[in-house]
Every structure is written in structure tokens, then in C-alpha cells.
Amino acid sequence: MNFGKRLYWVVALIALLAVAGTVVGFTSTLTAAPPPDIDPDNFVSQVDNKFFPLNPGTAFFYEGTTDGVPTSNETYVTHETKAILGVTTTVVHDLAFEDGVLVEETFDWYAQDEEGNVWYLGEDSKELDPDGNVISTAGSWEAGVNGARAGIIMEAEPRVGDRYNQEIAPGVAEDKAQVLSLNRSACVPYGCFDHLLLTKEWTPLEPGVVDRKYYAEGVGFILSVMAKGGDERSELVRVEVEDDDDAGEAYDD
């Protein structure tokens, strides 16, 4: 092989290796993107996002149906906190009932950054049998544990078309959301609202299931309707605020 041909093949091999390296690097980026940095100094103590306010001592009561079965949810914003990745989160206690029987108890952990985004840092979920025994903890996860990462439950300034990951716990919890509208109206037993935020929410862990959720400024989540995959609806019926003199005991409208 003469020098000219030898030089040609050397240059070609180098180019081929460079392209292969780029492809490998690109694939690695797609499948193993580094988790976002969580800087505790970038978080504030109060969750006051206009579409997802969490004022300790507030309780939200929801009623609805799932495939014809009466359901209800009680959501309590507690005074408790939990440190996750150095971030102090607000603990929210949720009780889910089917036909009057408690079927699931969950503690969710949220925190708000300085920009106003509300982060979801995990949940401790227990599925119960009719006797109150724990039969499953599926869906439980915590950011920083077993590869789980914090997600965004509510953006500071939602824009139509925005997509974001609410839960990032591969194979365990992978909820996602997309902003559909900022100007919807709806009535629920608690009241009628305009300029609602409407989101589409789904998870690849339940293909074919899609929910539409409505959020009111200053209140938060007010309505959920299953748009695909079943017949489910949940509406806000009541909000109660804890008495200052009887923290943890009494609530008033």
C-alpha cells in the first residue's frame, strides 16, 4: 500500500472512531442524564405557589366515584417537616376511601424553591385491606434513594404546552404532566372558578390512563376527571382551616 492510500485509510479510521464516540456519548446522555442539582439554599420554608399553596393546618376534602364506587379523599397539610437531600419539605397526609373504607394512606413531601416551583421529593404510601392491615407499599419513593430524583409538581409560571416530570423513580413512580390551558372554568361543590390551570397527567407505568386536573389560584387542586382508561372523578367539596388555639385538633371553614 503506497503512502497516499495509507494516509487515506488512517484519516478515515480516525473519522469513523470520532463519529462512533459521538454516537456513544449521545446515547449515554439520553439514557443516563445526570439528575438536577438540589441546592438546599435555593429553597424557601413556605409553599405558597398560587396553584399549589400548602398552608399548614389546612385540610381539603374531596368526593367522587371510581367506576361507580363512591370515593373520598382527605388531604391534611401538616405542621410536620422532613429533611430530604438537605431540603426541608412540608409533609402532606392523604387518606383515600372507597365506599367509606380506608384503602390507602400516604405521606407526601413537597418543597418550594426561590423561583416558586414546587418540587415533589417523594411519598410514603401504604395500601390497606378492609381490616386496616398494610398489604402493599408500592409507589413509595424518596429522592436520593435507589436512583429516585425530585420532580416538579407545580411550576412557578405554568405556560401552555409545558411538560414536566412530577415523579422520577424508575419503575416505581413516573407521573408526568402537560399544561393544556390557563383559562378554564369549572364548578365543584366547594364553588365555581374561572382562569383555572388545566393539566393532562399520565404515567408510562399505566399505559392508556390519562387524567385531567384543574387547579384554582389561591386554592390548589379542585377537580380531577379521568379522560382515558376508566371512569373516575374527584371534586373538592370542603376546605377547613385549623384554629390557631387548637392546632392539630379543630378545623373551621
Q: Is the pLDDT score of 205 beyond 50?
A: yes
pLDDT digits (tens, 9 = 90+) for 1-43: 443 444 344 344 444 444 344 333 333 333 333 345 689 999 9
What is the per-residue pLDDT for 25? 38
pLDDT digits (tens, 9 = 90+) for 150-190: 999 999 999 999 999 999 999 999 999 999 999 999 999 99
pLDDT digits (tens, 9 = 90+) for 66-104: 999 999 999 999 999 999 999 999 999 999 999 999 999
pTM > 0.85: no
What is the per-residue pLDDT for 141? 98
CATH 2.60.40 at 40-252, yes or no: no
pLDDT digits (tens, 9 = 90+) for 137-152: 999 999 999 999 999 9
What is the per-residue pLDDT for 247? 52
What is the distance between the alpha carbons of residues 111 and 91, in angstroms, rounded to a whole number? 9
Q: What is the mean pLDDT of residues 216-221?
A: 98
pLDDT digits (tens, 9 = 90+) for 220-241: 999 999 999 999 999 999 999 9
Residue by residue, DSSP assigns the chain as: --HHHHHHHHHHHHHHHHHHHHHHHHHHHHHSPPPPP--GGGEES-B--TTS-B-TTEEEEEEEEETTEEEEEEEEEEEEEEEETTEEEEEEEEEEEETTEEEEEEEEEEEEETTSPEEEEEEEEEEE-TTS-EEE-TT-EETTSTT-B-EEEE-SS--TT-EEES-BBTTTB--EEEEEEEEEEEEETTEEEEEEEEEEEE-TTSTT-EEEEEEETTTEEEEEEEEESS-EEEEEEEEEEE-GGGTTT-EE-
What is the per-residue pLDDT for 152? 97
The region of weakest confidence among 22-31, 44-53, 62-71, 211-220 is: 22-31
